[in-house]
Every structure is written in C-alpha cells, then in structure tokens.
C-alpha cells in the first residue's frame, strides 16, 4: 500500500461545525439570566423546528432519547406489551420501549434503504397481530419506505413513532421526516447534522400530546400555588443555553446537508472501480440529508473476518478487504470511521427478544451469522459495511487521501 502522511488533525466521522452565531444566542441567555429550562431560545427553536418539519407542535427536550421516551409513554405501551422496532439502529431507538416495560420485537432490514423492511413488518403482524406500536428509525439520514410502512400500520391500527434523530432535513416525496408518525423525535446530539451539543425535540400534530409532554418533562407539576404532583414526571426539558446553540445552527442546516451530499458523491465517484456499494437511497422519492456516508463491500470481495463480542480478527487477502481492516487502516492515519450499527437482535441485552425477517422468525438465522454466514439482512450489512469519515470540515484533498487509503486495502 502507498504510504501517506498521517493527518496532523484528526479527520472525524462527524463532528460539530460551528459558525459563531451560536455564541450570540448563548451569550444572550447568559446576559439576560435565562439559564434554566425556559427562555427565548427555547421558544424560537420550537418555532423553527415546526417551520422546518411542517408539524404543528414541537417540545424542546434534553435529548432525542427523551423525546422517544415521551412518545412511547404517549403511545400507551404497558409492561409486557410487544412493540415492533427497527433492528439496525442505535439502541436509543429501542431503550425507551424498555423504560415503559415494553417488549421490543425487531424487524429485519431491507437492502434498498438499509431501513425497516415492510415485508418483514407485515410478517410480524401475522405473528403478533396484537401489536399496536411501531418504532421506525431512518438510518444515517436516509428515509425508509414510509408509504408502505404507514399503509401496513394503518391496516393493523398501529401507532407509528418515528425516530428521525439522524434524518433532520431529509425528505420523502417532498415531505420532511419527523412528520410521518403519530409522535416523532429528532436529535441535536454533538455529531448530528446540526447540534446543540445535546438536546432533542418531540414532534406531533396533536396539541393534547404536546401539552402532556411539556408537563411530564418538567416533573409533571400541577397548576397549583405549591409543588403539586399527581403523576410521574421527568427532568427532560431542554436548557435555554443549549437551545441557543441549536438556534444558531438552524440557518446552516441546508448548507451542512449540501456539504454532506458532496462528500457522499466524492466517495461514490472515487470508489467506482472498487467492489463496493455506497449506502443506497430511492432517488425518485427521497432526498437524504447524507449525514453519514457508508460503504458495503461485495460478498466476493470480503476477506475472512470474524467478530466476537468486543474484538475482531481478519486475514488479509490480495484484492479483498473487510470493515475491520479498513477501519484499522484509517485509524493508523488518524481518520475515524465506524462499524455499521450492530443489529439490535444481536446485542446481548436484546438477544432473547423476538426478531422477524420477511420469512418469519429470524432467530435461526442469527446462529448462521455466528457460523460466518449472514442470512438475515441486518447482520449481513453489519458484517460487510462501515461508516466512512463524513465530517463536513474535511477538505477535498483530505477526502482524496482517504479514498486512496481505502483503495490500498483492496490491493
């Protein structure tokens, strides 16, 4: 492999991109002494979010996870009740179901978008017709097959909770993600397309639901002259300081998306002669926000790779590579990549939960993965895929070097 200079400054997967306006609103919060969970920044961020997403109500919370928890609570999930969830996602999509005592059942992924497979979802309803809540995530900023999923959920009378944490600014048939579910969530975590360093937003068109979340997220205080509490509450409200950062980021959302798209397109062009595919999307119906650029190595171009619970091994082969080799090589040059989210049905904490493929119960297929043959789609994408350095402060020259480094792994 050709040797390159180690990057002096680390090339990150996706780090915050600040512009200066953020400091203006944070300073305003400081100087006016609105440092708590009320203030002008919060009000403005909620207004900007409704304007961008096209929803009627937005409630600023401490994290996207908090928004998902409030959504699960509103959906009425009771202890022991099964809830259908995306399988390839971060566990923050699923954990709120457990907070309310629910029993997640994971729905396999499909190759077209790397999101929940509608065929597997329909199969899941055949097996568990009593389920009334479905939690859908849009992976890496790419919308799933929303129309098909909504049609299935409507048919079975199921509530949709849309996890749009990674997909702010992405659209499906011209409509923003975060507006398709009954209750929806976005995230402003430090690595997202725009950030507050933390924070999230609960979204809905239901005024009563929004009012409940405002109450629950401020410890469920009743309207009384003293601190009166008649139901369980949470300390989930966003700080006016954090909201100042988000407020300063919002004008740059479209700029960030354009930068992320350019990164994706440069990778796609740079890898056109390699045995790989970029993370796919339906160009006719969707416009991703391209939060993370990812690649999937062709099956016949995979060198031998074995993953345990916390470590991985591989054997180099001429003309072939694997995610572990590429990620380790990038790290040597001070560039950050990541594995694809490990499917929830493979996680030790959820390994005993239900898992449904389009053919039915998928547990036998997980054993095949352990033996080295990935038969369910989520496991296959995890085995062959990786997230590439996608930081929008990365220069074209730096990305060109990363492309050449990865090409070298296949020589």
Residues 6+ apart with CB under 8 A from 389: 11, 12, 13, 330, 335, 336, 337, 399, 402
Instruction: Specify the DSSP element, H or E, that contains 396.
Output: helix 396-409
* Rounded-to-integer distance, Cα 104 and Cα 84, Å: 6
Q: Which of 82, 123, 192, 212 is catalytic?
A: 192
Distance linking the first and last C-alpha atoms of the chain: 7
* Rounded-to-integer distance, Cα 124 and Cα 379, Å: 18
Q: Cite the beta strand spans of 153-244 per DSSP E.
A: 159-163, 171-172, 175-176, 183-187, 200-204
Let me know the angle formed at the C-alpha of 86 by 84 and 91, rounded to the nearest 5 degrees.
Answer: 105
* Rounded-to-integer distance, Cα 407 and Cα 190, Å: 30
Strand order in the sheet with 171-172: 175-176, 171-172, 286-287
* Rounded-to-integer distance, Cα 188 and Cα 48, Å: 14
Instruction: Give the bridge partners for 156, in sequence order.
Output: none
**3-state DSSP assignment of residue 170:** coil
State the CB neighbour count (10 A cutoff) for residue 352: 9
DSSP alpha helix (H) spans, 7-113: 21-31, 40-53, 64-74, 95-99
* 192 catalytically annotated: yes
Annotated active-site positions, please?
192
């Amino acid at each position: 492999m050709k040797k390159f200079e180690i990057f002096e400054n680390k090339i990150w997967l996706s780090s915050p991109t600040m512009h200066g306006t953020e400091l203006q609103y944070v300073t305003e919060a400081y100087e006016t002494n609105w440092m708590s969970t009320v203030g002008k920044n919060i009000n403005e961020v909620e207004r900007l979010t409704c304007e961008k997403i096209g929803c009627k109500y937005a409630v600023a919370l401490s994290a996207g996870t908090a928004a998902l928890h409030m959504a699960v609570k509103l959906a009425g999930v009771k202890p022991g009740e099964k809830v259908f969830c995306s399988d390839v996602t971060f566990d923050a999509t699923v954990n709120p179901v457990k907070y309310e005592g629910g029993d997640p059942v994971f729905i396999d992924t499909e190759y077209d978008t790397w999101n929940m497979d509608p065929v597997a979802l329909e199969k899941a309803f055949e097996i568990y017709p009593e389920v009334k809540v479905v939690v859908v995530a849009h992976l890496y900023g790419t919308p799933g097959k929303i129309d098909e999923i909504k049609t299935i959920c409507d048919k079975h009378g199921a509530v949709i909770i849309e996890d749009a944490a990674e997909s702010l600014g992405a659209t499906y048939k011209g409509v923003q993600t975060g507006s398709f579910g009954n209750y929806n969530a976005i995230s402003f975590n430090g690595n997202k397309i725009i950030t507050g360093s933390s924070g999230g937003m609960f979204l809905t068109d239901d005024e009563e639901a929004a009012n409940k979340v405002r109450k629950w997220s401020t410890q469920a205080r009743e309207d009384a002259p003293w601190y009166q509490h008649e139901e369980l509450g949470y300390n989930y409200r966003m700080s006016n300081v954090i909201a100042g950062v988000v407020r300063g980021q919002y004008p740059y959302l479209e700029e960030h998306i354009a930068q992320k798209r350019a990164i994706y397109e440069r990778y796609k062009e740079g890898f056109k002669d390699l045995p790989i595919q970029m993370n796919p999307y339906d160009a006719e119906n969707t416009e991703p926000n391209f939060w993370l650029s990812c690649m999937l190595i062709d099956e016949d171009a995979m060198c031998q790779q074995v993953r345990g619970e916390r470590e991985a091994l591989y054997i180099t082969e001429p003309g072939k590579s694997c995610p572990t080799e590429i990620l380790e090589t990038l790290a040597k040059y001070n560039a950050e990549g990541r594995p694809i989210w490990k499917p929830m049905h493979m996680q030790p904490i959820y390994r005993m939960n239900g898992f449904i493929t389009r053919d039915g119960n998928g547990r036998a297929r997980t054993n095949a993965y352990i033996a080295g043959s990935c038969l369910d789609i989520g496991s296959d994408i995890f085995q062959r895929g990786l997230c590439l350095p996608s930081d929008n402060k990365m220069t074209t020259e730096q990305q060109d070097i990363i492309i050449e480094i990865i090409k070298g792994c296949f020589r």
